[in-house]
Amino acid sequence: MASVNKVILIGNLGADPEMRVTGGGQKVANFNIATTERWNDKSGQKQEKTEWHRIVVWGPQADNCAQYLSKGRQVYIEGRLQTRQWDDKEGVKRYTTEVVAQRVQFLGGPGGERRTGNASVEGPSATDQTPDFDMGTSDVPF
């Protein structure tokens, strides 16, 4: 039987990405983004709920995220959900669910302001890390 594990989010970073290298030499960036839902309740009062999502980015796109993303920046994330478990210092099983990003697209400029071009990087198997807007390859800024 077929199954699908796909997540699409647009949100703003709550802090600058954290970059590290695993014991095996693999680069990984972690950051959280906030998505906010707004609606009017039955009495017409405006309501708002913010959800926080933990994002994990691997390989060359982790470098790009660490270099170009910062707190407040708007970002498009496409990926899959993954739940991990571990034992904490007291031996208690802990769980976390995170989005493993396969595509990251930078939507706002530094500090969240809008700009004309949107840089995009694809998942861990992608080798072409060029932006997602009209530029010749020789003009790519990174």
Nearest 10 degrees: Cα torsion 88, 92, 97, 100 = 40
Rounded-to-integer distance, Cα 85 and Cα 117, Å? 39
Q: What is the pLDDT of residue 119?
A: 52
| DSSP code of residue 141 | -
pLDDT tens for 49-95 read 999 999 999 999 999 999 999 999 999 999 999 999 999 999 999 99
105: left (phi over 0), alpha (psi -120 to 50) or beta: beta
Least confident of 7-16, 50-59, 62-71, 130-139: 130-139
Question: pTM, whole model, 2 decimals?
Answer: 0.74
C-alpha 31: how far from chain center: 7
Rounded-to-integer distance, Cα 135 and Cα 16, Å? 27
The residue extents of the domains of the chain are 7-124
For 11-40, what is the mean pLDDT?
96
CATH class label, 7-124? mainly beta
SS (H, E, C) 8-42: EEEEEECCCCEEEECCCCCEEEEEEEEEEEEEECC
Give whole-number Cα distances, 62 to 34, 59, 91, 93, 139, in Å.
19, 5, 31, 28, 21
Cβ neighbours around 119 below 10 Å, total: 21
Cβ neighbours around 69 below 10 Å, total: 24
